[in-house]
Amino acid sequence: MKDISLHILDIAQNSISAKASVIAINITDSINQNIYSVEIIDNGKGIPSEMMPTITDPWTTSRITRKVGLGIPLFKQNAELTGGHFSIESEVGIGTQLKATFIKDNIDCLPQGDIQGVLLMLVFSNTEIDFSYTFTTDKGEYTFDTNEIKQVLEGVSILQPEIKKYLKEMLAENIKELY
């Protein structure tokens, strides 16, 4: 993957395939701590405990269309290449929680990529899922929560072009405030 946003898209697809109805993505970008971390938490079907010991190994997959699963191993590898960390916890019937931390000033640290584009794409292409995104920087914190947004919209579709445009601007402006 050429940037962190594409890893997020990929890992979120695992949550979607696991039938999650709520997906939280928490991003911390801190110059002071020298880290960029991504946490993805879902309430999907969870990973069976017998799969967990090898989940970060490419030969672990439940897919039947191909024998290797690459999403998790690649994300872990790219975080660890920077000297960062990776962790994953999961419980069947409860959900999955995964966190990757990149060391920002390491030469192998991937660029963040089009984070906003990816996060909005997830919202607009999975309208039945509630997404909650929290951004934390050295300057502050912002949460974008589609459940709150849907309540405000009172049944007007989030996919209406005017609404999509507004949300895109709202997200961009609020993130800009954090830098």
Ligand X SMILES: Nc1ncnc2c1ncn2[C@@H]1O[C@H](COP(=O)(O)OP(=O)(O)OP(=O)(O)O)[C@@H](O)[C@H]1O
Name the site residues for ligand X (rule: CB under 6 A): 10, 14-15, 18, 42, 44-47, 55, 60-63, 69-73, 96
Site string for other proteins, 60-89 (x = CB under 8 A): --xxxxx--xxx--x---------------
Distance CA 47, CA 76 (A): 17
Which residues fall within 8 angstroms of residue 59, CB to CB, at 6 or more apart?
A: 67, 68, 69
CB of 59 vs other proteins, minimal distance in Å: 14
Amino acid at 131: F
CB of 163 vs Mg ion, minimal distance in Å: 30
DSSP run (H or E) holding 103: strand 95-103
Distance CA 61, CA 83 (A): 26
CB of 12 vs ligand X, minimal distance in Å: 9
CB nearer to other proteins: pick between 24 and 123: 123
CB nearer to other proteins: pick between 76 and 103: 76
CB of 34 vs other proteins, minimal distance in Å: 27
43 phi and psi angles, rounded to 5 deg: -110, 35
CB nearer to Mg ion: pick between 52 and 149: 52
Helical packing angle, 115-125 and 161-176, nearest 10°: 150
Which residue is associated with the tokens 């959900």?
95
121 binds other proteins (CB under 8 A): yes
CB of 174 vs Mg ion, minimal distance in Å: 29
21 binds other proteins (CB under 8 A): no
DSSP run (H or E) holding 169: helix 161-176
| DSSP state string for 41-86 | EE-SS---TTTGGGTTSTT----SS-S---HHHHHHHHHHHTT-EE
Contact partner at residue 158 from other proteins, Mg ion, ligand X, none, CB < 5 to 8 Å by partner kind: none
- How many other CB atoms are found less than 10 A from the CB of residue 20? 24
Give residues in contact with Mg ion (CB under 5 A): 14, 71
Report the interface residues with other proteins, using CB under 8 A.
Answer: 1, 6, 9-10, 13, 16-17, 62-66, 69-71, 74, 114, 117-118, 121-122, 124-126, 148-149, 152-154, 156-157, 160-164, 166-167, 169-170, 173-174, 177
